[in-house]
Chain A
Amino acid sequence: MRKCSLDKINLIFAEIAKNAELYLPVDQNDGSAAYKKWEEGTAWSNKLNTVKSPKDFFFPQTEDLMQFKTQGKNIEIVDTRSALQDFVIFGVRACDVKSFDILDRVFLSEPVDSFYASRRKHGVIISLACTRPSETCFCKTFDIDPANPTGDISAWKTESEIFFAANTEKGAALLDKLSSLTEECDDAAVLEQKEKINAIMDKLPLKNLTTDAFGGGKTNELFNAPEWDELSSACLGCGTCTFVCPTCQCYDIKDFNTGNGVVRFRCWDSCMYSDFTKMAHGNNRLTQKERFRQRFMHKLVYYPENNDGLFSCVGCGRCLAKCPISMNIVKVMKKIGGKKDE
């Protein structure tokens, strides 16, 4: 384990930025935080988390896949990819780090998504333990430990110092480069912080939320539950929950007519939208209830069924904070999952 004084944090940032693009949470003028590229003078946000998750770094909201240029009867296919630089994402919370595992299982299984894979290869993740979780946090429900965030390097911030521990080869190589700014230390201060975090976790209002009622094989039991009607009743059908979610991974591939050719791009899609997975015959989910159910069944039943029981929610709480009508996965889990207790 290595540490450095927080007074020197900008030197650390500058050192990292010498060899890679560095991104970190920065305060925006509306009072929230967003990942921004670090430049001399950029201040690291104290906020618990960003409104948008860091999934953009590996799976951007829009990206061009290829371009077609037509001339007469000839079509030229152009690879629009440019060479990627190495980049570092600093201050990623434990929940969001876990979301990358969930995305990996989708994009890195055969056939591998080469766009995603190359970003993963070039990215280094420095995570950060959560000292002040929010009432909306429920990462423990998914066995995520905010006191022990994973990633290539784990970091813990105290009042005056920051501690680093490398978890991977990539992380060790980066930490080596910071050796002149950091010093070797024991883990006493980090252990003390972990204890404090654990004590807070025991007080969180959502600490007892369980996934007991969910998981693979539950489709028949849950699909026609009468509760979906009431739960989805007020849903506006906007895409807020899906777009702030670190694990939502659905996308659409579309063609844009440039006038003399076509740019094929992909963009995030939302199962809340009326044209989600629209096919030639029309749409297979005609009501908002069906679209709403899809989102939660995907996270709590279908995904675990296909991924060794792993749920595709990390308990970050973004949908709790941002849904315009305050309907979210916690309310769904309690309503649908609580049935057995009645």
Chain B
Amino acid sequence: MQKITRDQLVSKASELLSNGTVCCVLGWGMGEFDYDVTPTVFNTVEELNNGFVFNDFCGANFSKYLVSKAAKCDGKILVLLKPCDTYSFNQLLTEHRFDREKVYVVGIPCEGMADVSKVKAICGEGILAISSNGDNINVTTLYDENPIVINAADVLAERCVNCKSKKHVAYDELLGDEGEVIESNRFDEVARLEAMSADERFAFWQNELSRCIRCNACRDACPACTCEKCVFDNPNSGVENKSPANSFEEKLFHIIRAYHVAGRCTDCGECSRVCPQNIPLHLLNRKFIKDINEFYGDYQAGEEVGMRAPLVNYTTEDLEPGEVFDRGADNA
């Protein structure tokens, strides 16, 4: 359950709207059910009172929206950022993707967001209501007389199970207490894949990526993917394609994308959250992060604005290509 309440957020946002600090608010809009929350721009206090929602299903990372939304506002836009979102925020600023002066950031604490597919795996279809109650989540369904009580920890989104930081690395104002960077186990699954033989690893990814329907949701939600024209959307690029024509292509797309965001990916986990086929795409990015940490020392993209990522920097201590090659041979 979240420590901060919907009413606290509405009150803060209303205050900033009313005193003219901001002209609009990027927040979460109420859905048909308790879990289908839509990122929404609120322009008035009335709109906030009627449609703003905050619960365990507010997972969307708002940072990327600032690229398109910030420029459209006459004044500042208020954005509510969870700790992990602030890393994307800084990374986008490092890449000059929006004007910092156009944005007012309120950092909000996060206790981890729930994954509705995990809720459905336990409760089945037919969810009528979901409410938080301490460490539990109560789920009312069409098919069960009494609400089903589940432990919130059992339905945490993968990226929240492996939360890397409760600390906000960017904000104008903070609600609640500041948290700490966390020693997470997020590289365990990568290490498990590394320990496989090359054939086993290939089979793992073949199985996962074979479900790809090439909807591009991973790319479109990714805060590191902000090219104005993606090479895969450009008919003149020679590699443009709207569907995975063969198994080579479906792998190629994801591997190229992972390379393109290497060193810039903050590990926010949006790619895996939005994938309609539940492909663990974040593992590709985490592999790169783990490698960068091992080769160049610990590096967290988005920790500060203006950081020079190891892959676009040169030092005499840098790894030689041969060392990378030998390491690959060991893993084959």
Contacts and interface: CB of A to CB of B under 8 A. Distances in A.
Contacts of A243: 213-215, 276
Contacts of B233: 273-275
Contacts of B217: 236, 238-240, 324
B38 A327 contact: yes
Given A234-B39, A236-B221, A324 B243 contact: no
B137 to A, nearest CB: 16
A275 to B, nearest CB: 6
Nearest to B51: A230
Interface in B68-95: none
A240 B32 contact: no
B319 interface: no
A230 B40 CA distance: 8
Given A62-B245, A273-B242, A274-B233, A132 B32 contact: no
Contacts of B33: 135, 205
Interface stretch (B8-16, B118-126, B170-178): B118-126
A77 interface: no
A265 B211 CA distance: 21
A108 B226 CA distance: 41
Nearest to B218: A238
B99 interface: no
A14 interface: no
B40 A233 contact: yes
A51 interface: yes
A236 B82 CA distance: 20
A289 to B, nearest CB: 12
Q: Is the interface of B mostly helix, strand, loop or mixed?
A: loop
A239 B36 contact: no
B32 A320 contact: yes
B200 to A, nearest CB: 15
Contacts of A200: 142
Interface in B186-239: 207, 211, 213-217, 219-221, 229, 233, 235
Contact of A278 (B36, B143, B235): B235
B25 to A, nearest CB: 13
B274 A324 contact: yes
Contacts of A244: 213, 215, 276
A186 interface: no
Interface string A124-156: 000000001111100000000000000000000
A134 B40 contact: no
Contact of A267 (B216, B245, B279): B245
Contacts of A320: 32, 36
A223 interface: no
Contact of B65 (A205, A234, A240, A331): A234
B128 A135 contact: yes
Given A132-B124, A238-B216, A203 B142 contact: yes
Contacts of B211: 28, 30, 34
Give the interface size bracket for A toward B.
35 or more
Nearest to A28: B211
Interface string A67-81: 000000000000000
A86 interface: no
Interface string A181-201: 000000000000000000010
Given A61-B213, A268-B242, A275-B233, A30 B278 contact: yes
A225 interface: no
Contact of A132 (B40, B126, B128, B242): B126
A74 B216 CA distance: 39
B262 interface: no
Contacts of B159: none
A83 interface: no
A130 B9 CA distance: 41
B283 interface: no
A230 B39 CA distance: 10
Contacts of B241: 254, 267
B243 A61 contact: yes
B220 to A, nearest CB: 4
Nearest to B32: A330
B128 A326 contact: no
A152 to B, nearest CB: 26
A51 B33 CA distance: 20
A274 B227 CA distance: 13
B160 interface: no
A238 B125 contact: no
B215 A240 contact: yes
Interface string A7-36: 000000000000000000000111110100
A2 interface: no
Contacts of B274: 236, 238, 240, 324
Contacts of B258: none
Nearest to B37: A326
11 contacts: A61-B244, A132-B124, A134-B126, A136-B125, A200-B142, A240-B213, A244-B215, A244-B276, A273-B233, A324-B274, A331-B31
Interface of A: 28-32, 34, 48, 51-52, 61-62, 132-136, 200, 203-206, 230, 233-234, 236-240, 242-244, 252, 254, 256, 265, 267-270, 273-275, 278, 320, 322, 324-328, 330-331, 334
Given A135-B125, A326-B31, 14 more contacts: A34-B211, A51-B276, A132-B125, A239-B214, A239-B217, A239-B242, A240-B217, A240-B276, A242-B215, A265-B245, A267-B242, A273-B233, A275-B235, A326-B38
Interface of B: 31-33, 36-41, 60, 65, 117, 121, 124-128, 142-143, 207, 211, 213-217, 219-221, 229, 233, 235, 240-245, 273-274, 276-279
Q: Which 8 A-B pairs have the closest CB atoms?
A: A324-B274, A134-B125, A30-B278, A326-B36, A238-B217, A267-B243, A236-B220, A234-B39
